[in-house]
């Protein structure tokens, strides 16, 4: 029941029992995004999402670490549904995964995740980075625990947090997405649901770097567009094969295939976007060359290496750092004395 109620509210009462409200918005024509404000006052608000993030205008910060609780659990009985607007993934197990830390005060409990995509791979994400669109975007929606459920949380300005992840094309299939895409084949019709065949882990479908993200205050990107969301947009995209993204475009609404379901960017107004970089993290540019032809095996070893750049935190790493520091000090002394 919890599952049904939460998705119900976040995506504007889209689920089966009250179709009337959910069916009155879409992405084209008279029910398209430019008309949402006529029926849903908040969609014409001043702190709406999505936005374009101009990387030159962000304010760099070093926030406390985020705790991703239960993200590596192996979850059974995961539901995948087509609600007529998007793919929803919901979990039954208790306790639900949760997040805390970063810009968040208190714990936020998982409600559902869903996707936004475009007609082809040149656009489809909601937020943009320096006006760059990505072919797809994942939204993981959490409500603040003290408000007990999504319905109550949307009445408070800090009620929800959405973890947003961009997708980018890879030549290789992402194996963790095979279970999702095979479930999608069974929910092409609107208002259908399947239970995933295999256990599912949040961490498996996410990128490696969960430390670098943009964060700002905004809204739901579907009616009623409530301005209650603390957005976290992770910088490192998830890499999916074209064929895997293509499966999402097979889903149907009451009006035919859902070829696109992203809202255009909204004015940023007086808002500031913060960019979290982890000062303890040995960092280098995470964005890989899209034409990269490295075979999967070398790629994954490179990824492990990247993850293990925490080598600098190991005893051997510390000795190396110490030696370099001493050497550097000596050199500087020689130069200046």
Ligand X SMILES: *[C@@H]1O[C@H](CO)[C@@H](O)[C@H](O)[C@H]1NC(C)=O
Q: Which residues are catalytic?
A: 85
139 near Zn ion (CB under 5 A): yes
Return the number of other C-beta atoms located less than 10 Å from residue 200's C-beta: 21
Burial class (CB in 10 A: 0-12, 13-18, 19+), 161: buried
Q: x/- binding map, residues 90-129, to Zn ion, per CB under 5 A?
A: ----------------------------------------
119 near ligand X (CB under 6 A): yes
- Neighbouring-strand partners of residue 232: 163, 215
Here the tokens at position 237 are 């995209």
Decide which of ligand X, Zn ion, none touches 122; Cβ closer than 5 to 8 Å per partner kind: ligand X
214 Ramachandran zone, left/alpha/beta (phi>0; psi -120 to 50): beta
Q: x/- binding map, residues 76-115, to ligand X, per CB under 6 A?
A: ----------------------------------------
Q: For ligand X, which stretch binds (CB under 6 A), given 56-64, 86-94, 106-114, 119-127?
A: 119-127
| Percentage helix, strand, coil for the chain under 3-state DSSP, each rounded to 5 | 30, 25, 45
For ligand X, the closer of residues 38 and 119 by Cβ is 119
71, 148, 205, 284, 324 from 293: Cα distances, Å: 30, 47, 22, 20, 34
For ligand X, the closer of residues 122 and 279 by Cβ is 122
Here the tokens at position 236 are 């490192």
* 23-52 binders of Zn ion (CB under 5 A): none
HEC profile of 95-162 = CCCEEEECCCCCCEEEEEEEEEECCCCCCCCCCEECCECCCEEEEEEEEEHHHCCHHHHCCCCCCEEE
Here the tokens at position 316 are 């051997």
Decide which of Zn ion, ligand X, none touches 196; Cβ closer than 5 to 8 Å per partner kind: ligand X
Decide which of Zn ion, ligand X, none touches 139; Cβ closer than 5 to 8 Å per partner kind: Zn ion
Compute the least distance from the CB of residue 122 to ligand X, in Å.
5
HEC profile of 47-105 = CCCCCEECHHHCEEECCCCEEEECCCCCECCCEEEECCCCEEEECCCCCCCEEEECCCC
Binder of ligand X out of 314, 318, 325, 329 (CB under 6 A): 314
85 near Zn ion (CB under 5 A): no
Binder of ligand X out of 9, 99, 196, 273 (CB under 6 A): 196
307 near ligand X (CB under 6 A): yes
Compute the least distance from the CB of residue 184 to ligand X, in Å.
8
For ligand X, the closer of residues 148 and 308 by Cβ is 308
* 120-149 binders of ligand X (CB under 6 A): 120, 122
Here the tokens at position 224 are 């009623």
For ligand X, the closer of residues 34 and 313 by Cβ is 313
Tell me which residue of 97, 244, 111, 83 sits closest to 179, measured CA to CA: 244
- Neighbouring-strand partners of residue 311: none
191 Ramachandran zone, left/alpha/beta (phi>0; psi -120 to 50): left
Cβ(216)–Cβ(271) under 8 Å?
yes
- Tell me, by CB under 6 A, how many residues bind ligand X: 16
For ligand X, the closer of residues 54 and 310 by Cβ is 310
Strand pairing category for 160-170 and 252-253 = unpaired
For ligand X, the closer of residues 313 and 329 by Cβ is 313
For ligand X, the closer of residues 41 and 302 by Cβ is 302
Decide which of ligand X, Zn ion, none touches 185; Cβ closer than 5 to 8 Å per partner kind: ligand X
Q: For Zn ion, which stretch binds (CB under 5 A), given 88-96, 136-144, 237-245, 250-258?
A: 136-144
Instruction: Name the residues that contact ligand X, by CB under 6 A.
Output: 119-120, 122, 182-183, 185-186, 194, 196-197, 304, 307-308, 310, 313-314
């Amino acid at each position: 029941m919890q599952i049904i109620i939460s998705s119900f509210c976040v995506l504007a009462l889209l689920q089966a029992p009250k179709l009337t409200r959910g069916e009155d918005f879409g992405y084209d024509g008279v029910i398209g995004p430019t008309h949402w404000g006529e029926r849903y006052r908040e969609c014409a608000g001043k702190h709406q999402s999505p936005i374009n993030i101009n990387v030159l205008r962000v304010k760099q910060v070093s926030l406390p670490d985020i705790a991703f609780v239960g993200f590596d659990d192996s979850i059974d009985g995961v539901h995948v549904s087509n609600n007529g607007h998007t793919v929803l993934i919901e979990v039954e197990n208790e306790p639900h995964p949760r997040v805390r830390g970063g810009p968040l005060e208190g714990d936020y409990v998982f409600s559902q995740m869903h996707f936004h995509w475009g007609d082809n791979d040149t656009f489809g994400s909601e937020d943009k980075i320096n006006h760059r669109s990505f072919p797809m975007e994942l939204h993981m929606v959490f409500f603040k625990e003290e408000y007990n459920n999504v319905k109550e949380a949307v009445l408070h300005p800090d009620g929800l947090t959405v973890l947003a992840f961009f997708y980018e094309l890879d030549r290789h299939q992402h194996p963790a997405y095979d279970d999702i895409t095979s479930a999608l084949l069974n929910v092409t019709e609107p208002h259908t649901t399947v239970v995933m065949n295999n256990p599912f882990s949040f961490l498996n479908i996410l990128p490696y770097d969960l430390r670098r993200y943009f964060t700002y205050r905004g809204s739901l990107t579907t009616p009623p567009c409530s301005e209650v969301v603390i957005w976290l947009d992770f910088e490192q995209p998830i890499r999916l094969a074209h064929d895997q993204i293509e499966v999402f475009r097979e889903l149907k609404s009451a009006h035919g295939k859902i070829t696109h379901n992203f809202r255009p960017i909204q004015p940023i107004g007086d808002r500031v976007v913060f960019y979290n970089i982890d000062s303890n993290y040995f960092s280098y540019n995470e964005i890989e060359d899209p034409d990269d032809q490295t075979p999967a095996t070398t790629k994954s070893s490179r990824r492990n290496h990247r993850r293990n750049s925490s080598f600098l935190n190991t005893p051997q790493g510390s000795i190396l750092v110490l030696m370099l520091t001493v050497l550097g000090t000596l050199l500087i002394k020689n130069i200046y004395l």
